[in-house]
Amino acid sequence: MSSETTPTLDPSLFADGPARDARFTVAARWVDCANYPVGHPLRAIEFLHRQMNEEVDSLECSAANLRDFPDAAWELRLALARQCADEARHAAMFRRIFERRGGRLGQYPVLNFQYRIVAHIPSLVGRLAIQNRSFEAGGLDAIASGIEQARRDGDEDLVELFEAQRADEISHVRFANEWINASTQQNPRSVLDIGLALAGASKAFHQVMGSEATEGVNFPADGAARSEAGFTDSEVGLAIQLQTQQAGRSPLDPPRRG
C-alpha cells in the first residue's frame, strides 16, 4: 500500500492512493514512470501494464462512488455497479494479453492519478464529469487511434480487445452524460459543483503529468463514439475543432487509450 505523495504534489488536491501490493512500485508523477520513446521495443508492452492499472483505477473510482454516495438514485448506483464489473473485466483483459506477451506484474511503475484526483472530489456529479465525461471520453478518442494502429500492425488480438473495451466505455460516458444533464437541469448547484471539480482536477492533473506527458500527444476526436456516448452535435464539433487546433492535448485528457 502506498500514498505516494511527494513534495512535488500538493496533498490538498489529492485523495490518498489506492492500495497496491508489494509487487508494484507506485509512481507519483508521470515523469517517474517508464516512458519509452516511440520505436522502443518495450513501449508496447509497458503500455499494456500501465493500462491494466488504469482500468483498476477506474474500477476503484466507480466503487468509491458507490461507497461515498449511498443515497444516489438506484438507477445510477446500478450503472456504477455495472461499470465496476466492466472495468474489472478490462483490467483482466489487459493483464491476460500483457502476460501472454511475456510481461510480469509489477515490472513497470504504475501511476494512480485517476483515483487520487477523482476520489478527492466531494460531489458525485463532479466525479462523473471528470472520470466519465472527461477521462473516459478522452479514452474513446485514444481507443479509436489504438484500433487503427493495431489494424495496421496486423495485431488482431489487440483490435479485438480495444473493440470490446470501446463498447463498454461508450456506455460509461453515456450514462454519466445523461445523469449530468438531468442533474444540472434539476439543480443549478450542480453546475457549480462541476466547475469546482474541473478547476481542482485540472490543477492536480498538471502537477502529475507536467508538460512532458502532454506535449505533442494528441488523438483526433472520435466523433461517432462521442455521439453514441451522448454528447450533443455541437459538443462533438467542438471536441473535433479543439483537438485539430491543439498541438498538445487538453489538460484533462490523460495519456491513456481507454
By the 8 A CB rule, do 194 and 184 touch?
A: yes
- CB of 62 or CB of 218, closer to Fe ion: 62
Name the minimum Å distance from CB 81 to Fe ion.
13
- CB of 9 or CB of 88, closer to Fe ion: 88
By the 8 A CB rule, do 144 and 241 touch?
A: no
Name the minimum Å distance from CB 86 to Fe ion.
6
- CB of 32 or CB of 160, closer to Fe ion: 160
Distance CA 188, CA 38 (A): 45
Per DSSP, 36 falls in state P
Cell digits for 75? 438507477
Which residues, 31 to 70, sit near Fe ion by CB under 5 A?
55, 58
Number of Cβ atoms within 10 Å of the Cβ of 113: 26
Name the minimum Å distance from CB 244 to Fe ion.
25
- CB of 9 or CB of 66, closer to Fe ion: 66
Which residues, 152 to 211, sit near Fe ion by CB under 5 A?
169, 172
The alpha carbon dihedral of 79, 85, 86, 88 has a sign of: positive
Name the minimum Å distance from CB 229 to Fe ion.
11
By the 8 A CB rule, do 142 and 165 touch?
A: no
Which residues, 90 to 149, sit near Fe ion by CB under 5 A?
90, 136
Positions touching Fe ion (CB under 5 A) are 55, 58, 87, 90, 136, 169, 172
